[in-house]
Structure 1
């Protein structure tokens, strides 16, 4: 390994000591420092082989932190793609299973986010439903999930029979 590769590796390890990084993030952080792309790629290959850098580990860590902050699957998947992670290329990474283990599933998380933001007051009017729906969509929940949540809220309020998705 030449001295430049040693510098690249040292910089990568410094960054990885703070938190997990995706391969794309490391490349983006190292390129402006004047390192050659070929050198960066070679060092990143070596770090991945030695398990110092792992896109799967990064994806799980990142998704876990986003789930804990109340973000849904659409938002998390989008952000992971922006950071160079495509779940189709990472079969060991299962976002659904992670959501289940961290928050009890997407619907449980959606209910938590909704109740934290809006409480359990009376049923809102049509305009308020639309406003709440937009908020939840911006948090990365699908329209189907939001419709199920609103059905849950209506059922809980009226006390009618069984609740959806329970």
Structure 2
């Protein structure tokens, strides 16, 4: 599971990656009672907008997914914000689903830290999995269904263009569900 700001763009980018089987927008952490868009918007619910990614490791590695997250989707030097969205619900975070993913995530953050790739410190946490709550249907596949939406055009379409430019061999012909 990955968080990288508003889940519309995170889902939109990863659904276009070869080897990704499905991407689902939702809320990580918090409680079921507050796992609603209207309740998470103030940043006090403990949730992060996140995506649950099912992928085929024979086609795309977890490390590649992390590389795409931090070279296309999210700035790992920003705490509790991405693009125009501010608050802990928009934090970037890595939520490993097993010990191997945790090892890869920790090693990857160490690799990109220390000023070698980013001028500012890396502030992305590796968070323990708590619970994933699927977002409302209106948020699923939002970028694909609403390509002319002003937010999508300004903030998320450039991320998809960056994926195609930086990782042309990793782009699917048609998005995953």
Does the pair score TM above 0.5?
no
Normalised by the length of structure 2, the TM-score is 0.25
| Greater C-alpha Rg | 1
Normalised by the length of structure 1, the TM-score is 0.26
Bigger relative contact order, structure 1 or 2 (CA pairs below 8 A, ≥6 apart): 2
More strand per residue:
2
